[in-house]
Structure 1
Amino acid sequence: MTSNVPFCVPPLTGGVPDAVVKVLDSRWLTTGPETAAFEQEFADYLGAAHVVAVASCTSALELSLRAMGLPAGSPVLTPSLTFCGAINAILHAGHRPVFVDIDEETLVPSPETVAAAAARVKPAAMILQNQGGYPVDVPALTEAAGLDRSRVVEDAAHGPGAARGGAPVGSSSYAACFSFYATKNMPIGEGGAVATSDEEFADRVRAMRLHGMSKDSWKRYLPGGSWRYDVKAVGLKANMTDVQATIGRAQIQSLPGWQEEREQIVARYDEALAGVSGVVLPQRNSLDGVRHAWHLYQVRVKDRDAVGDELQAAGIGTSVHFIPANQLTAYKEIVGADECARVPVTDRVGEELLSLPLYPGLTADDQDRVVAALAEAMRTRAMRTRS
């Protein structure tokens, strides 16, 4: 019997087990020297001035909003086509999400959709997501929102490896938030980071990731350190551990090669699916200096749920990114029906998106199985439509 093709198999660098054992042997398991080294190495990879490692991308988003010091209940623009964690971050920071519609081709907000949302409210801040790995044009969207760059958070959970204008995503952002979840381009298992060009902002996030304490335990318990600390702002318990950080340090070494492999897999999908009727391929890199991270390979198909079920029956793992936030019960109750009706393109496109397997190590034979199963599902649907 042919084995299944899972939606994702996280790649692991060969040096990970030894690195973890080394940290375990050190007996320093929480935030410490490995976390500091990881922050510097990830900053070097991005070309960013500062990186603060945290527990997750969701906590990175919330910490970034908290560190901005916005008035309670401030309106924050966000695409509705995003993970629920991004909406929760706005709410947990004490603010109000305002939904922004997307461009149908790129699946990210456009200057026009941002301007339309900003016209309804006077936004205090904005979160922008690199959907699937497509790098948003942060300066253009910041201008469209009428905001200063210090009030814009870039959700780069899908972003490592992406670039715009030749500059890596996160290299010059005021606040770019990354994810190291198990399915992401650089998997650690859990974890996140905030990259920023502003030293003062980095210091605020660094303190707030550990309750707002002025010194973490590593600094307090170093030789000559003091147990005394202050809390100047209320924070979260959202620090990264040295066990996570040492995995991240090993994984960074393989990230460039993994990104090249992702691009090769995407090129094979593009070629193989180009002639499959009813399948809309993902957004293209039509602009000079734009490099897609290819975290996801999102196709669009009619009758998406039924197509996904047929692929599952054929042993092909798929996923959906995402159920639009405006369609989820809790957010409908919080923001109201009128606000949830403001994103018609998101509602329409969101019913068609289907993410196919894409990860380093996905073999050509497995890709052929994915393509064959999708083509058969589309043929079956076309036959039923004709009959």
Structure 2
Amino acid sequence: MTAAMTATTTTAVPFAVPSFTGAAREAALRVLDSGWITTGAECGAFEAELAAYLGQPYVVAVASCTQAIELSLRALRPAPGAPVLTPSLTFCGAVAAIVHAGCRPVLVDVDEDTLVPSPATVAAAVRRAGKPAAMVVCPLGGYPADHAALADAAGLPVGRIVVDAAHGPGGAVGRADDPSRAPYATCLSFYATKNLPIGEGGAIATHDGDLAAWLRSARLHGMTRDAWRRYLPGGSWRYDVAELGFKANLTDLQAAIGRAQLAALPGWQRRRAELAARYDAALAPLVRLPRRDPGHAWHLYQVRVRERDAVIAGLSEVGIGTSVHFIPVHRLTGFAALFGPDERAALPVTDRVGAQLLSLPLYPDLTPDAVDVVTGRLAELLA
């Protein structure tokens, strides 16, 4: 038995461990003691601080990234059944959001090296399915996909692009753009395993003031005045609903945690990059790695392996957790009926890499020694 084997038999390496600062715990208690825990002043402060971090003029916090995508697409006012481009190699919720927005998802194959759609694969999807109404761009794992180049390939203005940045923030994804090349909306996730973990929650960053104003109403049933503003001293109980909205708001309890977590994010991102570099040094000779470009958010550390199930089992038996991101949506029973045989057959790279991708542990509290344990065991299995 090797040193790596000995280490892993006594020390488990979980796949994901969310980091929470002491300040986040204090912030949660502060809100609980304040008498106001739903959407209010903390939410507004979190939105402003996140906007400053991203360099974006507007951020609107919502209940999840999935709802952020749906709301952003609805705000574009697509015709019923309008085609919306999306990769199949993405989280199922991102494609469900397209359907719930009343649109028809059109699947795009991915590039072999980046694992995200390329201008060539986008153009191929447009030739197959016709001009889309919009596109959802997914920077898988935090890879900084060029949404403007993909928009050009789709024949769309960047104002018809929604970026599913659930695997950011932290890198280039979601950062300020030249307004002339900025996407309509960049959607973020604060799920427990994400780079900025709150537990649940999401947000939309945008340059579009009209979109931000619509979102603030739409996230709370379409009401013209939320409870916080109605109950402030001098506030009025009156409100209107000009357009039916949704229950998709973030609470002050979540926002206060998010504010404290945001202060720690730069340090966490440096740690993620350091750990990814350590993985790369050990694994580059052994497995095929996706391309590395500046601005990667390093939400996931993905490798490609053959006989994936056997590798997963070999890592699991010594306490190393793994995951798969993702099962292509056209392989999921509830989605398969949405796509015809020709569309499912038009995704050869997605099918190939989807059968090989494996996500290894990557989070700020992971130690270099734990990375060595993972790479040592993986080397044994691949040998």
TM-score normalized by the length of structure 1? 0.93
Question: Conserved in 2, the CA contact under 8 Å of 1:319 and 1:354?
Answer: yes
> 1:360 and 1:124 mapped to 2: Cα distance?
39
1:32 to 32, 40, 59: 40
Question: Conserved in 2, the CA contact under 8 Å of 1:170 and 1:195?
Answer: no
CA shift, 1:167, in A, is 5.0
CA RMSD of aligned residues (A): 1.5
Aligned residue in 2 for 1:243: 253
2:361 to 351, 357, 364: 357
CA shift, 1:213, in A, is 1.2
2:307 to 300, 303, 306: 303
CA shift, 1:170, in A, is 11
> Following superposition of structure 1 onto structure 2, how do residues 183-222 of structure 1 map, counting pairs within 5 Å?
183-222=193-232
Aligned residue in 1 for 2:29: 21
Superimposed CA distance per residue, residues 59-113 of structure 1 (whole angstroms, 9 cap, x where no aligned partner): 0000101111111111100000000000110111111100000001000100011
> 1:294 and 1:170 mapped to 2: Cα distance?
24
The percent identity for this pair of structures is 62
Question: Secondary structure at the residue paired with 1:316?
Answer: coil
1:104 to 108, 112, 116: 112
CA shift, 1:235, in A, is 1.7
Aligned residue in 2 for 1:86: 94
| Structure 2 portions without partners, runs of 5+ | 1-8
Aligned residue in 2 for 1:225: 235
> 2:234 and 2:305 mapped to 1: Cα distance?
62
> 1:121 and 1:20 mapped to 2: Cα distance?
49
Instruction: In structure 2, give the amino acid aligned to 1:358.
Output: L
> Following superposition of structure 1 onto structure 2, how do residues 135-284 of structure 1 map, counting pairs within 5 Å?
135-163=144-172, 172-276=182-286, 279-284=287-292
> 1:168 and 1:372 mapped to 2: Cα distance?
39
Residue 117 of structure 2 corresponds to residue 95 of structure 1? no
> 1:187 and 1:280 mapped to 2: Cα distance?
29
CA shift, 1:211, in A, is 1.2
Question: Conserved in 1, the CA contact under 8 Å of 2:138 and 2:164?
Answer: yes
Aligned residue in 1 for 2:72: 64
Change in CA separation of 1:320 and 1:168 when aligned onto 2, cut-off 3 Å: farther
1:341 to 331, 340, 345: 345
Aligned residue in 2 for 1:384: none
Question: Secondary structure at the residue paired with 2:131?
Answer: coil
Question: Secondary structure at the residue paired with 2:338?
Answer: helix
Superimposed CA distance per residue, residues 299-334 of structure 1 (whole angstroms, 9 cap, x where no aligned partner): 001111211111111210000000001111111112
TM-score normalized by the length of structure 2? 0.94
CA shift, 1:43, in A, is 0.2
Question: Conserved in 1, the CA contact under 8 Å of 2:56 and 2:175?
Answer: no
Question: Secondary structure at the residue paired with 2:163?
Answer: strand
Change in CA separation of 1:297 and 1:170 when aligned onto 2, cut-off 3 Å: farther
